[in-house]
């Protein structure tokens, strides 16, 4: 009977570590506490190592606005250039994150979507609905200001986003200043 030889060294590749060394990060899935905290930590570490550009690939349906704004705040704080790359979709809060990049790219088959935010009222809030509605209006104005600051979206575009959903393909995003370049 032949003996099987065991390799002397491990051939297991740490994919996550290799990608991090290339300064490539990923927002795939929901914008929530877990996904954003991970990205914030990764960006902080990479920015502390050096100030070379960091690529943030996005394929997200969106999520929590406060989490997304925390990431945007950090993106504006660090010295490293943040390059956002929409890989298929940047919807809702992910659309906000995508436009906050120093350079903004999108694959030709990608989609970008903006819309109004949800109220998030649950539990015994009947007496607090009026106050929550006032806060939502203020919060939405902050989000709208981000769109105005980083894009060339028209008043009509912002109206559509406010009252429905504004879906844009790569060519439309380029025309409206949402991205700087289309990748093929």
d(CA 40, CA 165): 28
Q: Is 32 left (phi over 0), alpha (psi -120 to 50) or beta?
A: beta
Kindly provide the b/e burial profile for residues 136-150, where b requires at least 16 CB atoms within 10 angstroms of the residue's own CB: beeeeeebbebbeeb
Catalytic annotation present for 11: no
Question: Of 115, 126, 139, 154, which one is the catalytic site residue?
Answer: 115
- H or E segment to which residue 146 belongs: helix 129-150
Catalytic annotation present for 92: yes
Question: Of 35, 80, 92, 98, which one is the catalytic site residue?
Answer: 92
Helix (H, G, I), strand (E, B) or coil at 54: strand
Active-site residues, by number, are 92, 115
């Amino acid at each position: 009977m032949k003996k099987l030889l065991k390799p002397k060294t491990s051939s297991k590749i740490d994919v996550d570590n290799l990608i991090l060394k290339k300064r490539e990060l990923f927002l795939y899935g929901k914008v929530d506490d877990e996904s954003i905290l991970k990205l914030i930590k990764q960006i902080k570490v990479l920015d502390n190592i050096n100030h070379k550009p960091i690529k943030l690939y996005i394929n997200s349906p969106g999520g929590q606005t406060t989490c997304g704004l925390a990431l945007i705040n950090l993106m504006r704080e660090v010295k490293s250039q943040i390059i956002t790359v929409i890989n298929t979709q940047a919807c809702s809060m992910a659309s906000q994150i995508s436009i906050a990049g120093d350079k903004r790219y999108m694959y030709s088959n990608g989609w970008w979507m903006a819309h109004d935010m949800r109220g998030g009222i649950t539990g015994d809030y009947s007496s607090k609905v009026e106050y929550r509605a006032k806060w939502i209006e203020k919060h939405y104005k902050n989000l709208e200001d981000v769109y105005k600051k980083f894009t060339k979206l028209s008043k009509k575009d912002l109206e559509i986003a406010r009252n429905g959903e504004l879906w844009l393909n790569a060519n439309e995003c380029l025309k409206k200043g949402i991205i700087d370049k289309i990748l093929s």
